[in-house]
Structure 1
Amino acid sequence: MNSYNLDIPIFPLDNVIILPGSFLPLNIFEKRYLNMVDDALKTSSRLIGLIQPLMNKKENIESFENSIGCYGRIIKFEETENETYIISLKGLSRFRVINTQLIKRGYLSSKVSVETYKNDINKLKTNNFKFINDKSLKTILKSYLKLKKLDSNWNYINSCSNLDLTNQLSMICPFSTHEKQMLLESKSIDDRYILLLSILENTVKLNEKENQIRH
């Protein structure tokens, strides 16, 4: 058996990604995904894989072939009065789907390979990050947040390292599904930083051009 292959439950979510080393809160309310969490909690690893569905075909198993996602471990679990779950995932590693099946409990389960991404966690070490002191990200972020009229806590933002901020912004900014997938699939954290910077800059520049045309 290939030690880089895993069988994990799959949670397809539109426009949502998790990255290695990052944390993601999730509200679980559909019966099939309540089943998925119940089953994951019964295992020692408590793993769940997240994938952005292709073309929104959540029920089309073939749409997940060769897709790249990221799995995380359930590190926090709470059941609400409405019998829904609030969980937190810690991202561990990206993966490539080998095959997928719909199981009796109503959710998808995939055999995935992590061989390409076996060093995901190691690559998150700050001393391997080239842009630790670069000021470009926070500079363009101010313009982007103003453009999108998004509330921001600059005390918190300034306290974040560029490495942490790169992953957090990749996950929470209102980017397109395609942009988020590109950020997820970046070969390294340095590549992700460069791509994130490009997306932010292009969004701001495009808005500036549109304003010039209007006036």
Structure 2
Amino acid sequence: MSELPVLVIGDKTVSSWSLRPWLALRQADIAFEERLLWLHRPAFRSEVARYSPSGRVPVLLHDGAVVWESLAILEYINETWLQGRGWPAERAARAHARAIAGEMHSGFAALRRELTLNLRRHGAPLDPGHDAAQDIRRIVAIWEDARARFGAGGAFLFGAFGCADAMYAPVALRFLVYGIALPPVAQAYVDAILALPAIGEWRAAAALETD
């Protein structure tokens, strides 16, 4: 029998990369063991070195495999437990989903820098700088295009929840905590992400963190 997968993550308050595979596992109702490492404690480097060759979280441990990068973990989840359902079935839609997931993975540096995920943030809405505002416009365009072309079957980018949604879920949380005003299609998508029980679970756990 396959062993229970172990997902090593960082603080739920701030670790957007940890949220991505965690959410994919929860949405697919895959049992796993969670091991949380506190990112800002002095022991983090020595603790994470026990699990991750990159010295970063998240990392998935399963049946001898060590997968230490969020998008690679999503692919592993898709291949191991989802029988390919993490990506759209139709070839063009699947290629599109992988393209926008890759764009999220490698891009939007200004957004990451200016709208750092912090689920404890309270205060006035942020007025983004020029570069971050450009990133926000691009993300809104990505969401609107995917919803218009491929999203008729449900509330998510390609209808049903999938790996592309896992990649963009932390952005929805960023828009929430920074009070970013969005056009209707993008706001509806954020609302769909926020309505997921797993997102509610993540946010509730973050609210209890003390670091």
- Decide: shared fold, TM above 0.5: no
TM-score, scaled to structure 1: 0.31
Higher strand proportion, which one? 1
TM-score, scaled to structure 2: 0.32
